[in-house]
Amino acid sequence: MADVDIDGGGVDMHTEGTETAMAALDQVAADFRQAWAGHRSGMAALESQLGNGPMGREFAALYNPAADGLARSAESTCGRVERRARIGRACVQMYLAADAEGRRGFEG
């Protein structure tokens, strides 16, 4: 898509740059999701060994809530990045549609 700049003084979106940035956000989210899955698997393997003895049970009681919070936060962060990329792409489409509609108004 092309940049839209009708009069040089209004609100303009550089649509190609915006689309490139949204693709980069998608890639960051995908890379993070993949890396997190590997780390989460490693954590789960170690966590399965926790809580088998008296000291382990005490440690697990403190560790598990923190680990669960970390997991929720990591997954939520990835989802938020993906959502922002979707919204950004939708904004490009809305911008271009509004520009085309405005142009039709001037063409009669």
Query: What pLDDT, in 10s, does the model give residues 67-98?
Result: 999 999 999 999 999 999 999 999 999 998 98
Distance CA 107, CA 66 (A): 61
> Which single residue is written with the structure tokens 């899955």?
37
Give the residue, 3 or 70, on which the prediction is more confident.
70
Query: What is the per-residue pLDDT across 14-71, written as a single tens digit (0 to 9) for each?
Result: 889 999 999 999 999 999 999 999 999 999 998 888 888 888 889 999 999 999 999 9
Q: Is residue 106 helix, strand or coil?
A: helix
Q: How far apart are CA 79 and CA 85, in angstroms?
A: 10
Per-residue model confidence (pLDDT) at position 4: 59
- Return the closest-CA partner of residue 57 out of 66, 67, 47, 72: 47
Residue 38's alpha-carbon distances to 34, 69, 79, in angstroms, are: 7, 17, 17
Residue 72: its pLDDT value, please? 95
Confidence at residue 18, expressed as pLDDT on a 0 to 100 scale: 92
Please report the pLDDT score of residue 67 as a whole number.
Answer: 93
Please report, for residues 53, 64, 65, the alpha-carbon distance to residue 71 in angstroms, rounded to integers and kept in the order given.
25, 10, 10
Nearest to 49 by CA among 63, 37, 35: 63
